[in-house]
Structure 1
Amino acid sequence: VPDKTDSLYVYRQDFEHDGRRQRVAGVIGALELEEFGIGAGVLPHERTMEGPKADRLALLEALRLNVSPIYGIYRGGSGLAGFFEGLEGRPTASRFADEQGILHRLWVITAQAEVGLLGAAVAAGPLVIADGHHRYETALAYHRSKPVGAPGSGSILCFCVDADSEDLVVLPYNRAAKLTGDLDPHSVLASAGAPVTGAPAATLEASPSDHPFVFVTSEGDLLLEVEDREVVAAVGERAPAWRDLDVVALHEALLPRLFPGGINELSFSKDPNEIRRLVMDEGWDVGVLLKALAAAEIVDVARSGERMPQKASYFWPKAITGLVFRSLR
């Protein structure tokens, strides 16, 4: 149903994570597109691949419609928490639970004073793309291809969330690898690490190391640890926010040392059980389980001008597709 007035939308997700009820609320609206660069108001944190962008551009040309928002995070908008709580008594435009038990709610905000309040909070600092890098860069390409003033091409639908929200969930992207050469990965890892006897997540949290990892092999799990000095030796004088990331320590320092022949193929999953299945049942050589990132760390990396390795973070739950559309016609 088209809205007759310019509106913003408050979108809330209520869900359970690790046995605790949690709530994430943010603002959905049209985000003005900007080229990435120094001083830009929109910052990336991951690198993209050309194939997915080509597919998305074809879809955008066909639909001329944003069907799902990208996910952006910002800092400094914590004052909106009270506003979000105050919406509890107002009627929702949409309310439903999905198959995962996540309760989705949407409020339409039309009062100009409230629209101004929400917009000012989100615009207080740079917005970092948390999820949707390919869609954002696709929207830029679409915009460049259109005449000046083409309807809607200068913006993209975005769900904006405060990075300091304590309920924001950022899951690690775990890895499974197929190695180059005829190696016994368990022997290589056993010579450098220690067997894991407890739960991998608890083992990672208990480790005093700067960068702990649990490696999964068909013969058992092993804990391997990397210290900051080894990362510095591998990458040199890069931005500290980037250099301090576990995923950087893994790909730049640890994996090259363990497997100098290289890696043929990587698979990624937020689910540790899927990584374990690939190793145990599908013939992948080794899996790697990582600790989760904090959203604030992602903001710091983006502000430093660096980009994380591919598949470094997974924001959950995703903003649902089809809740709000934005026409480019």
Structure 2
Amino acid sequence: MAEILPFKAWRYNELLDNNIEELTSPLFDVVSAKQREALYRNSINSIHLSVPRSDSPADDAAVLLQDWKDKGILVQDPLPGIYVYYQYFRLPGSDKEYCRKGFICNIKAYDWSERVLLRHENTIPTAVNDRIELLEKTELNTSPTHGLYTDPEFILEPFMDESIKSPLYETEDYQGVRDVLAVIHDHTVIELFLRTLEDRQILLADGHHRYEGSLEYRKKMTSLNPEHTGYEAYNYHLMYLTNSEHDDLRILPTHRVLQQIDMSDEEFLQKLEAYFVITPKEDPYELNEVIIGKQWAFGLYLSGNSYKLRLRPEVHSQISWKFPDEVKDLDLTVMHYFIFERVLRVLREKQRDMAGLSYERNFTACIRKVDTGAARLALITNEVSMEQVKRVCHSGAIMPQKSTFFYPKVICGFLFGSIKEDEFITAPAACL
């Protein structure tokens, strides 16, 4: 089902004085304002392409990209390859070192209706529009999105393990993660990668906005090209693929923070009681622990007071959204239906652009925002499991926005993927 291709990456010139860790940057949707300012000070950091800062960001990024190519700051690899990418990391409270194994390639930008690439959550429209414009002007994928394929036999891992012994780069990123990149040029091995993926569906783990940007760009270019064949460079998208069967695939929770609500604390709690058992807690820093492993349980930090919320099981059937059971059973569906729609009276279609609603991965940051007055309340949730992601994807439905946080994030700057016709390998046979 999934057509993938090797590619000739654009990478930083090895003769540059900068070390590669000085040139990498976080993805556009996770980079903080403070990180941005520090990274912008390096005139050739990758952030100038991925999150350009100007009045005409997409146009200026295109000019800058061409300038970097002309000056030899970026150089295209002479041979197409599959780029192996390993991330070694630890989680708080554990001494275990995890290793997420995967590889970066081009994949056809399949329409959702084709059921080759499956999504699991909603996107935010303004973010998609930004990505489309940047892609259209630069014809460059500045970072790979993250997709999952299922291979219980682990066919490709031995070849990736061998490749990673001779890395192109090895560095520690902003997350404290050790990132290692290598490349496979062997034609026989590349052919095995292509054959292994051709009968698989892909679940989109991270990068829904960037993927939708590529998808919309493909649709636009297809409509403008009467000679469209399906092999043009604009048909493809840069993706990091990992095996969903691997034990080291980690998903972290994404909490909700609200700046304000139009009711008193007492009224809010009273309305919640119709749906939840509310248990006061002394220590807000234990809210993430008291809900672990409990279905439909949340932590609430409201104006400096802590509560554990647990949905009354008998009200779950009241969910009237036309979703399959796989979605109705999710914690975040319960949160968004009973707390946002029923209590706060914000309809589902309005929640994606709800004023004052933000998403926070860092638990302690949620508490701090309420304590400093930057927010009125924080809703703490459990992580979504890999099995839940699979069930939702295969059901054809989608989760609420910002449901998953696959950790660690890939970084930007190791490589770039061009979709310019004269810089792209389009026919599969030409790659082998």
Equivalent in the alignment of 1:320: 411
Per-residue deviation, residues 77-117 of structure 1 (Å, max 9, x unmatched) = 551334433345x3112222224321111121121222133
Deviation at 1:165, TM superposition (A): 1.8
Contact 1:77 1:124 in 2 (8 A): no
Shift of 1:50: 2.3
Q: Deviations over 1:274-310 (max 9, x none)?
A: 2112211134221111001122321221111111111
Aligned-pair CA distance for 1:214: 0.6
CA distance in 1, matches of 2:266, 2:195: 53
| Structure-2 residue corresponding to 1:28 | 104
CA distance in 2, matches of 1:132, 1:51: 14
* CA shift for structure 1 position 239: 1.6
Match of 2:381 in 1: 290
Match of 1:204 in 2: 291
Whether 1:160 and 2:241 are equivalent positions in the alignment is: yes
Of 315, 327, 332, which aligns to 1:242? Answer: 327
Normalised to the residue count of structure 1, the TM-score between the two structures is 0.89
Which secondary structure does the structure 2 equivalent of 1:17 belong to? coil
1:56-81: CA deviation from partner (whole Å, max 9, x where unpaired): 12211221111100111122255133
Amino acid paired to 2:233: G
Out of 177, 181, 200, the residue aligned to residue 258 of structure 2 is: 177
What's the offset of the Cα at 1:151?
4.4
Q: Distance in 1 between matches of 2:197 and 2:315?
A: 38
Q: Counterpart of 2:287 in structure 1: which amino acid?
A: P
Over residues 246-283 of structure 1, what are the superposed CA-to-partner deviations in whole Å (9 max), with x where a residue is unaligned?
Answer: 10011113444444478753111100112112211134
Q: Distance in 1 between matches of 2:341 and 2:331?
A: 14
Distance 2:323 2:199 in 1: 27
Q: CA deviation at 1:185?
A: 5.3
Q: Which residue of 1 aligns with 2:91?
A: 17
The answer for the alignment partner of 2:338 in structure 1 is: 253
CA distance in 1 between partners of 2:379 and 2:129 (Å):
30
Query: Are residues 177 and 226 of structure 1, via their aligned partners in 2, closer, same or farther at CA, if it must alter by over 3 Å?
Result: same
**Could you say which residue in structure 1 is the equivalent of 2:128?**
53
Cα distance in 2 for residues equivalent to 1:16 and 1:151:
41
Q: Which residue among 193, 202, 208 is the counterpart of 1:133? A: 208
Judging changes above 3 Å, is the alpha-carbon distance between structure 1 residues 95 and 285 closer, same or farther for their aligned structure 2 residues? same
* Change in 2 beyond 3 A, CA 1:120/1:290: farther
Percent identity between the two aligned chains:
24
CA shift in 2, pair 1:107/1:229, >3 Å: farther
Seen in structure 2, the aligned counterparts of structure 1 residues 264 and 107 have a Cα distance that, compared at 3 Å, is closer
Q: Deviation of residue 228 (structure 1)?
A: 5.2
Relative to total residues, which structure has the larger strand share, 1 or 2?
1
1:74 aligns with 2:132: no
Say if 2:167 and 2:180, in contact at 8 Å, map to a contact too: yes
User: Runs of 4 or more off by more than 4 Å in structure 1?
Assistant: 189-192, 260-264
Amino acid at match of 2:289: A
Once structures 1 and 2 are overlaid, which stretch shifts more, 121-130 or 317-326? 121-130
Distance 2:375 2:146 in 1: 32
Alpha carbons 1:164, 1:295 under 8 Å: kept: no
Cα gap change, 1:5/1:227 in structure 2, threshold over 3 Å: closer, same or farther?
farther
Contact 1:77-1:122 within 8 A present in 2 as well: no
- Give the number of equivalent residue pairs: 325
String of CA shifts for 1:205-263, please: whole Å, max 9, x gaps: 264xx211010123321111125553332136632221121100111134444444787
| Bigger mean CA offset, 222-231 vs 46-55 | 222-231
Between 248-257 and 17-26, the greater mean CA deviation after superposition: 248-257
Q: Which range moved further: 251-260 or 130-139?
A: 251-260
Structure 1 residues 120, 185: CA separation in 2 closer, same or farther (over 3 Å shift)? farther
Q: Which residue of 2 aligns with 1:7?
A: 81
Q: Assess, with a 3 A threshold, how the Cα gap between structure 1 residues 237 and 6 changes in structure 2: closer, same or farther.
A: same
Residues of 1 paired with 2:204 and 2:363: CA distance?
25
Counterpart code for 1:243: K
Paired position in structure 2 for 1:267: 358
Q: Does 1:300 align with 2:391?
A: yes
Q: Secondary structure at the match of 2:411?
A: coil
CA RMSD of aligned residues (A): 2.5
Cα gap change, 1:185 to 1:35, in 2 (>3 Å): farther
8 Å CA contact 1:195–1:223 kept in 2: the answer is yes
After superposition, the Cα gap between the structure-2 partners of 1:214 and 1:143, relative to the gap in structure 1 and judged at 3 Å, is same
- 2:309 aligned partner, one-letter code: L
Instruction: Check whether the contact 2:128–2:213 (CA below 8 A) recurs between aligned residues.
Output: yes
Cα drift, residue 176 of structure 1: 1.0
Equivalences for residues 183-194 of structure 1 within 5 A: 183-184=264-265, 188=269, 192-194=277-279
**Does the 8 A contact of 2:359 with 2:402 survive in 1?**
yes
